[in-house]
Amino acid sequence: MASITPFLWFDSDLAEPVEYYRSIFGEVGSVDVPDGLGDGPAFTATIELCGQKLMLLNGGPENAGFTESQSLFVSVDSQEQVDYLWDRLTADGGEPGQCGWLKDRYGLSWQIVPEVLGSLLGAIDRAAAQRATEAMLGMTKLDVAALQAAFDG
């Protein structure tokens, strides 16, 4: 069976981004690094974050750079996980965005989203869902308690 793996172009040696993502996702998922990454600059690496494989390329600066039109969506179970990932991914040069979006220090966009958000925004009670939507639109990092309070009215 075929598989689809996101392919991310970095502009330098991959040892640093691999270690960066390992340091963040090692506690909430797994990261597999190919043998020999430390034997000099790696041209490619395959890592796994929370069950999702990613290919990384050391392709140089010519075409490197990420935009918001591509992002990695991370569904989490709790505010604690939102806080952990948000704080780690925005540290050391990352940037917060709106509605749960952020950029990490490499410019890669992420969406850190509590799983409950889908049920709040998709609820049959459209007025409650609209209140939760309006609350979300005013947030950078998503706040589960505030979203629930807005939903509850």
CA angle 137, 140, 142 (to 5 degrees): 80
Per CATH, the number for 66-153 is: 3.10.180.10
> For position 11, what pLDDT does the model report?
85
Q: Round to whole Å and give the CA distance between 117 and 95.
A: 22
Superfamily of domain 1-64 in CATH is 2,3-Dihydroxybiphenyl 1,2-Dioxygenase, domain 1 (3.10.180.10)
Question: What pLDDT is recorded for position 66?
Answer: 87
Residue pLDDT tens, the chain, 153 long: 888 989 999 887 788 888 899 889 874 444 445 555 555 566 788 888 888 888 888 887 776 788 888 899 999 999 999 999 999 999 999 999 999 999 999 999 999 999 999 999 999 999 999 999 999 999 999 999 999 999 999
For residue 31, the model assigns a pLDDT of 46
CA-CA-CA-CA torsion sign (56, 57, 60, 61): negative
**Same fold across 1-64 and 66-153:** yes
Q: Tell the burial category of 75 from Cβ atoms under 10 Å away from its Cβ (0-12, 13-18, 19+).
A: middle
- Structural domain boundaries in the chain: 1-64, 66-153
